Structure 1
């Protein structure tokens, strides 16, 4: 049952301490290696497969070796390493910082949001800033927390690192422009596959969290079923749609998707509710994960 203390300790480390220094952050080094391989490989689909296998091997091999350590040492080192591939503290504090800035200065809020999303934030209105913040908070709840923990439960530390490598590859080369279309095809499809179950599971847990928080959980389920597939990604819409329904708001990326119905106006209070909703969703996931580990052979 070493996985339970590793899981709980990793989550605690990330919540209390946050991201490790850049110089020792595995995800930073993943990005550096991906950028290097991108420069030396051709822009063909086979290169994307080679890149994925290479970077996955580099980062899962040490994770496999950690499994041979004695129990106390394994628990500590595995927990520290697992905490580096999840981002609870940074995700929640970044979203909260945008909300705090919006109360004071819209330009500051736009700048802080620009670090979280790929869209142009320079002309966004208050409601558009809030929508984008709630979108990135709820979408990344899967990418940055529940999905890596999901694969840790199934395959241990190597599974968590495999997921983080693929997700980082998708973030860096998984685009449809001429430079990345072929190179990023394989990691982008692999990321879609790996996120299929975690995204849907997290969306359903968000509906359950809405129930416990006395939010509009029925609307959350309705909007999840209706709107989750409206996003370009086959997975990102599940938590965003569930959140839109629970908060009774409409989330929109102009020209790309619209999720939910505008029953209530977006406000900083709605962002705070989204943070509560996401927090309880995470708690429910961890409780569920612990229970699954206990019954696994």
Structure 2
């Protein structure tokens, strides 16, 4: 699929599109709007769960339908117009370059010795509290962000784009947006966000495991410890409450010989994350760059992998 290839290249060159309405931001605004309306109607435990299901189904189906309808209307202008719009929409769903840019700001601040700036940049890309983190914990958080988003922001979107084009990949991003906004297990969202969190788990089940298999290959190609990456991934991949999120983190931890996980603070409360990896090396700022390199090679391998799978299925 030429659209996916071009969208991937555009993402590497341009990064996150700025200066105009981003599809994911529009989805996020709609989620907030609909959440407010539904909470006025549905009360109590069962009501919140029902409202969450309505929210999830409405946002995902509407996203798919709007994108499909848009491409159908654009088809009046010809196949190249459809291709151009599809490329743009798929491009907005990928996050390789933008993740590099945002995480590298944290790295640069650490290397400059500006801990406050590093905490500020980190706070823009993580949900945990950053004001009490030291240099090691800042680097750990940045690496964990890269490792987890290799699946959520790269591998899974590529897979769904290859399978179903722009409508399916934007529907996936809608689920991912829902999970990031309402998929928390706190008092406010434990019931309301149940459906969104479950659907996110389902849609990431296969790509997360593919990510866990591809990262060791990328690590090996780059000269990191690919064997340890694969071993640690198999050993630690199910340690998180989420059935998917530890695959990438464990693989990166094994590749770099570090430990990820530990105590994080969310909304003023400590939360102990499982330890992933063996910690043969102390985490340093340079490991952030190592994780970024692994991310880029994993993204390329995943693109080739899914295109080859599609090719062999179609012949």
What TM-score do you get using the length of structure 2 for normalisation?
0.89
Matched residue, 1:147: 156
Conservation of the 8 A alpha-carbon contact between 2:107 and 2:285: yes
Out of 183, 192, 199, the position equivalent to 1:174 is 183
Matched residue, 2:126: 117
Matched residue, 2:267: none
Out of 134, 139, 151, the position equivalent to 2:143 is 134
Measured on the aligned residues, the alpha-carbon RMSD in Å equals 1.4
Conservation of the 8 A alpha-carbon contact between 1:132 and 1:253: no
Deviations 1:96-149 (CA, angstroms, capped at 9, x unpaired): 111111011111101111111111111111111111100001101111111122
For the residue of structure 2 that corresponds to 1:180, the secondary structure is: coil
Which 4+ stretches in 1 moved above 6 angstroms?
A: none
1:50 aligns with 2:54: yes
1:13 aligns with 2:3: no
> Shift of the alpha carbon at 1:65?
2.9
Equivalences for 1:231-250 in 2 at 5 Å? Answer: 231-250=240-259
Quick check: 280-289 or 18-27, which moved more? 18-27
Deviations 1:207-239 (CA, angstroms, capped at 9, x unpaired): 111121221111111111111111222111000
Where in structure 2 are there 5+ consecutive unaligned residues?
264-271
Equivalences for 1:249-264 in 2 at 5 Å? Answer: 249-254=258-263, 255-264=272-281
Mapped to 2, the partners of 1:189 and 1:102 lie a distance apart of 37
> Shift of the alpha carbon at 1:57?
2.5
Where in structure 1 are there 5+ consecutive unaligned residues?
none
Matched residue, 1:89: 97
> Shift of the alpha carbon at 1:23?
4.3
Matched residue, 1:228: 237
Matched residue, 1:78: 86
Conservation of the 8 A alpha-carbon contact between 1:101 and 1:108: yes
Conservation of the 8 A alpha-carbon contact between 2:158 and 2:302: no
Out of 23, 26, 41, the position equivalent to 1:29 is 26
Mapped to 1, the partners of 2:220 and 2:182 lie a distance apart of 38
Equivalences for 1:92-107 in 2 at 5 Å? Answer: 92-104=100-112, 105-107=114-116
Deviations 1:49-76 (CA, angstroms, capped at 9, x unpaired): 1111211232211322355423222221
Out of 293, 296, 304, the position equivalent to 1:287 is 304
> Shift of the alpha carbon at 1:245?
0.2
Out of 199, 219, 223, the position equivalent to 1:214 is 223
Mapped to 2, the partners of 1:293 and 1:78 lie a distance apart of 18
Quick check: 19-28 or 111-120, which moved more? 19-28
Size of the aligned set, in residue pairs, is 294
For the residue of structure 2 that corresponds to 1:24, the secondary structure is: coil
Conservation of the 8 A alpha-carbon contact between 1:146 and 1:282: yes
